[in-house]
């Protein structure tokens, strides 16, 4: 089929599914999952067609449809795919499809199932649109839609206050970042006159955009990206977002939406490349975030929160790579990360389906009970840590190599993060899968609660529910991808870079890098086993809890950043709020009441005038005529 049509179909299928589920959702009930999955699958097929076309011709664009013509501004609606976006839509489509299928099993028995899949369709549509947008305004519209879908999905379980709060927090924090993107939009309009990326890059290149403005623009865009991708200090929403259903966490908060920030910076790479200041900021924040999040992850007791901080950390890697000038390395890691992180999240969901809790302190000995899931986790963990020959190794190595070659000091932060990554992952794996089973699976009163799971009450401590095939199949696919995805970009055969059209730049890091990083990773694993797994066993025997030491508390609470925000920002805001309340109640509300009263009074008076008597109607009309005539006569 013609590639343009394929482009529209990529968005068209999820849009169709959204509308169908919106209107007929009530009646479809359990079939909603099939509708959603089928639509995403068809979208994935269309994405593949686009990918193949891009492979051949380098870029595919749909004919622009003129939308708004305001004076000098000409906004068109258009979809365009270059190698970067073609790759992204395939990844997004694939992961979304796997999550859809998985959700059919995971969300079984949940209420408002059709609404869930409706939101998923909306998200898929918005994410794909974001990727395919060739101008900043279109991207912004889809960016906002993605944020909306994320809000709806995190807060899906409307009956749980924690879920609602988490959704609001996610929305507010990312909104704050979005302000940056909005300002950038304005700046582009004022200084470049067009929202199209091509025009922006042209302006940067031929110097019509001053270097100061380029830097400012890049920084504002990074603010938006940092919000969505959970970079320090806007990372606080991601761990709380784990209140949403786990397939949602896998899709949105691991593989796609959070990657949107990385994608945005990669898309606007020429802008960042032209501004050394902005690139420096990006690389530093990325590196710092990576280290910071890894530290905090070590102290988490909730499986999903470990994975959430891990995601923040890995996104930091990607941002750093962009900061030091390698979009290829960042996109490569984005790809592999999408697969193994989604794998880990879906695996966590399988654990939950089996034993009803995410609390690491209550797990243990799962390897014997669910060996398949154990393998899945092992695979995901090793990939994340960067053990060859799994995909994560290749992509992480690329980033480390680029970073060291560029001479950025952030390289050392990243290197230090490697053993930390192994430490928290090893700890998680050890506590969950190794050792003897600890404690009863928690009865499911609050956590990940009523609307999302139908957990049978009174499950015995040793029992684990079987994981349905519909949930296993995606895990198989993702496992396979986790293993093989790395081979598309090796030093010998840089297929990935070639596809993206970026020079592989023959970047070879120092020889010792690969060996040292792998060694550090293994060291981390060993430490994890020694300190945590054995320590836990020792502690269980001695009856002491190991979680109370001071540095531990700091880690567990994310260095109290959240508390800082809550106290500082919230306290400041409350004071302002009280002052504002006085103004609001007295002045503003008064004004509003006055206006409303005036309008309604005006309407009431006129409505009384209309008393049903035709004589009066005609009289009023003629009186009006007379009055106007008088006005004319008297004033001329």
Partner 1 sequence: MPDLLTALPWHLLVPEAIVLFFAIVLLLVDLIIPPERSRRGLYPLAFLGLFSAAVAVVLSFRNPGDFAGAFVVDGFALMMKLLLLFGTALVLFMALDEHDPSFRRAEGDALVLLFLGLLGALVMVSARDMALLFVAVETLSVASYALVGFKKRTVASLEGALKYVLSGATATAAFAFGASFLVGLTGTTDLYALGERLTDPALLRYEALVYIGFFFMFAALTFKASSMPFYMWTPDVYQGAPTAVTGFLAFVSKAAGFAVLVRLMIAVFIRLPEYGRGTDGAFGSAATLALIAALSMLIGNAVALWQTDAKRMLAYSSIAHAGYLFVPFAAASPMFVEQVAFYLVAYLFMTLGAFAIIEAVAKDRGSYRLEAFAGLYHRSPGVAVGMLVLLLSLAGIPLTAGFFGKWYILLGALAGGHFVLAGALVVATLISYGYYFALLSQVFMRPGETERPLVLSPGTGIVFAVGVVGSLLGGLFFGPIVEVIQRAF
Binding positions for partner 1, rule: CB under 8 A: 22-26, 66-69, 599-600, 602-604, 606-607, 610, 612, 614, 616-618, 620-622, 624-625, 628-629, 631-636
If DSSP states are collapsed to H, E and C, what string results for 29-54?
A: HHHHHHHHHHHHHHHHHHHHHHHHHH
Smallest gap from Cβ 188 to partner 1, in A, equals: 21
Smallest gap from Cβ 607 to partner 1, in A, equals: 5
Q: CB-wise, 70 or 550, nearer to partner 1?
A: 70
Smallest gap from Cβ 165 to partner 1, in A, equals: 24
Q: CB-wise, 503 or 618, nearer to partner 1?
A: 618
Smallest gap from Cβ 71 to partner 1, in A, equals: 10
Residue 372, token pair as written in the block = 């398949």
Smallest gap from Cβ 260 to partner 1, in A, equals: 24
Spatial distance between the Cα atoms of 304 and 476, rounded to a whole number of angstroms: 20
List Cα–Cα distances, 594 to 130, 151, 588, 601, 605, in angstroms: 44, 36, 10, 10, 16
Residue found under tokens 């230090």? 416
Smallest gap from Cβ 329 to partner 1, in A, equals: 40
Q: CB-wise, 544 or 610, nearer to partner 1?
A: 610
Smallest gap from Cβ 635 to partner 1, in A, equals: 5
The single-letter DSSP state of residue 432 is H
Spatial distance between the Cα atoms of 627 and 635, rounded to a whole number of angstroms: 12
If DSSP states are collapsed to H, E and C, what string results for 165-231?
A: HHHHHHHHHHHHHHHHHHHHHHHHHHHCCCCEHHHHHHHHHCCCCCHHHHHHHHHHHHHHHHHHCCC
Q: CB-wise, 65 or 460, nearer to partner 1?
A: 65
Q: CB-wise, 409 or 609, nearer to partner 1?
A: 609
Smallest gap from Cβ 588 to partner 1, in A, equals: 16
Smallest gap from Cβ 486 to partner 1, in A, equals: 44
Spatial distance between the Cα atoms of 478 and 380, rounded to a whole number of angstroms: 9
| Class of residue 33 by CB neighbours under 10 A (exposed 0-12, middle 13-18, buried 19+) | buried
* All residues at 6 or more sequence positions from 206 whose CB lies less than 8 Å from its CB, including other chains: none
Could you tell me if 522 and 422 are in contact, meaning their C-beta atoms sit under 8 angstroms apart? yes
Smallest gap from Cβ 38 to partner 1, in A, equals: 21
Rg of the chain taking only CA atoms, in angstroms:
28
Q: CB-wise, 594 or 621, nearer to partner 1?
A: 621
Dihedral sign, Cα of residue 201, residue 202, residue 205, residue 211: negative
Smallest gap from Cβ 559 to partner 1, in A, equals: 44
Q: CB-wise, 73 or 569, nearer to partner 1?
A: 73
Could you tell me if 403 and 317 are in contact, meaning their C-beta atoms sit under 8 angstroms apart? no
Smallest gap from Cβ 181 to partner 1, in A, equals: 20
Smallest gap from Cβ 36 to partner 1, in A, equals: 17
Mutual angle of helices 469-484 and 327-355, in 10-degree steps: 150
Q: Which of 306, 446, 281, 401 shows the shortest CA–CA distance to 363?
A: 306
Q: CB-wise, 19 or 580, nearer to partner 1?
A: 19
Q: CB-wise, 461 or 631, nearer to partner 1?
A: 631
Q: CB-wise, 563 or 630, nearer to partner 1?
A: 630
Q: CB-wise, 445 or 633, nearer to partner 1?
A: 633
Q: CB-wise, 101 or 114, nearer to partner 1?
A: 114
Q: CB-wise, 23 or 179, nearer to partner 1?
A: 23
Q: In angstroms, how far apart are the furthest CA atoms of the chain?
A: 104
Q: Report the chain's terminal Cα–Cα distance, integer Å.
A: 71
Spatial distance between the Cα atoms of 314 and 333, rounded to a whole number of angstroms: 8
Spatial distance between the Cα atoms of 472 and 492, rounded to a whole number of angstroms: 34
Spatial distance between the Cα atoms of 407 and 323, rounded to a whole number of angstroms: 12
* All residues at 6 or more sequence positions from 45 whose CB lies less than 8 Å from its CB, including other chains: none
Could you tell me if 305 and 239 are in contact, meaning their C-beta atoms sit under 8 angstroms apart? yes
């Amino acid at each position: 089929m013609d590639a343009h049509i394929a482009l529209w179909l990529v968005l068209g299928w999820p849009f169709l599914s959204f509308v169908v589920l919106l209107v007929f959702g009530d009646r479809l009930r359990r079939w909603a999952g099939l509708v959603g999955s089928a639509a995403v699958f068809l979208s994935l097929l269309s994405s593949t067609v686009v990918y193949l076309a891009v492979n051949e011709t380098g870029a595919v664009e749909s004919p622009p449809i003129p939308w708004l013509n305001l004076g000098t501004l000409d906004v068109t609606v258009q979809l365009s795919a270059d190698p970067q976006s073609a790759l992204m839509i395939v990844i997004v489509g694939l992961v979304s499809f796997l999550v859809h299928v998985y959700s059919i099993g995971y969300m079984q028995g949940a209420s408002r199932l059709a609404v869930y899949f409706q939101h998923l369709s909306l998200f898929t549509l918005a994410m794909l649109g974001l990727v395919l947008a060739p101008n900043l305004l279109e991207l912004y519209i889809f960016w906002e839609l993605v944020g909306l879908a994320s809000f709806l999905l995190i807060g899906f379980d409307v009956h749980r206050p924690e879920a609602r709060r988490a959704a609001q927090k996610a929305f507010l924090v990312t909104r704050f970042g979005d302000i940056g993107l909005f300002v950038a939009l304005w700046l582009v309009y004022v200084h470049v006159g067009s929202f199209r990326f091509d025009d922006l890059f042209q302006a940067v290149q031929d110097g019509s955009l001053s270097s100061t403005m380029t830097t400012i623009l890049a920084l504002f865009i990074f603010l938006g990206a940092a919000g969505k991708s959970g970079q320090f200090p806007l990372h606080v929403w991601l761990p709380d977002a784990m209140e949403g259903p786990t397939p949602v966490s896998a899709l949105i908060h691991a593989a796609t939406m959070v990657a949107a920030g990385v994608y945005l910076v990669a898309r606007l790479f020429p802008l960042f490349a032209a501004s050394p200041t902005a690139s420096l900021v990006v690389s530093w924040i990325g590196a710092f975030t990576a280290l910071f999040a890894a530290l905090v992850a070590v102290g988490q007791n909730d499986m999903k929160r470990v994975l959430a901080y891990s995601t923040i950390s890995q996104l930091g890697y990607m941002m750093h790579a962009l900061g030091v000038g390698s979009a290829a390395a960042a996109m490569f890691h984005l790809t592999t990360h999408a697969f193994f992180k989604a794998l880990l999240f879906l695996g966590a969901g399988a654990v939950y389906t089996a034993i009803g809790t995410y609390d690491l302190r209550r797990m243990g000995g799962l390897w014997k009970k669910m060996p398949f899931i154990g393998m899945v986790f092992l695979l995901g963990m090793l990939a994340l840590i960067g053990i060859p020959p799994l995909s994560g190794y290749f992509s992480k190595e690329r980033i480390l190599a680029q970073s060291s070659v560029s001479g950025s000091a952030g390289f050392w932060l990243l290197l230090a993060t490697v053993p930390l990554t192994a430490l928290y992952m090893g700890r998680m794996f050890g506590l969950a899968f190794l050792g003897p089973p600890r404690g009863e699976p928690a009865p499911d009163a609050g956590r990940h609660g009523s609307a999302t799971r139908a957990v049978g009450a009174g499950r015995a401590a040793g029992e684990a529910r079987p994981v349905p095939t519909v949930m296993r199949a995606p895990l198989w696919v993702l496992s396979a991808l986790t293993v093989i995805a790395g081979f598309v970009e090796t030093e010998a055969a840089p297929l990935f870079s070639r596809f993206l059209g970026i020079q592989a730049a023959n970047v070879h890091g120092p020889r010792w890098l690969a060996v040292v990083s792998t060694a550090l990773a293994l060291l981390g694993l060993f430490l994890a086993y020694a300190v945590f797994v054995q320590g836990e066993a020792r502690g269980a025997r001695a009856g002491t809890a190991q979680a109370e030491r001071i540095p531990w508390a700091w880690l567990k609470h994310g260095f109290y950043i959240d508390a800082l925000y809550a106290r500082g920002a919230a306290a400041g805001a409350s004071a302002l709020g009280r002052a504002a309340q006085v103004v609001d109640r007295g002045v503003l509300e008064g004004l509003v009441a006055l206006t409303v009263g005036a309008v309604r009074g005006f309407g009431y008076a006129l409505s009384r005038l209309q008393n049903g008597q035709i004589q009066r109607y005609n009289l009023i009309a003629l009186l009006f005529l007379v009055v106007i005539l008088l006005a004319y006569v008297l004033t001329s």
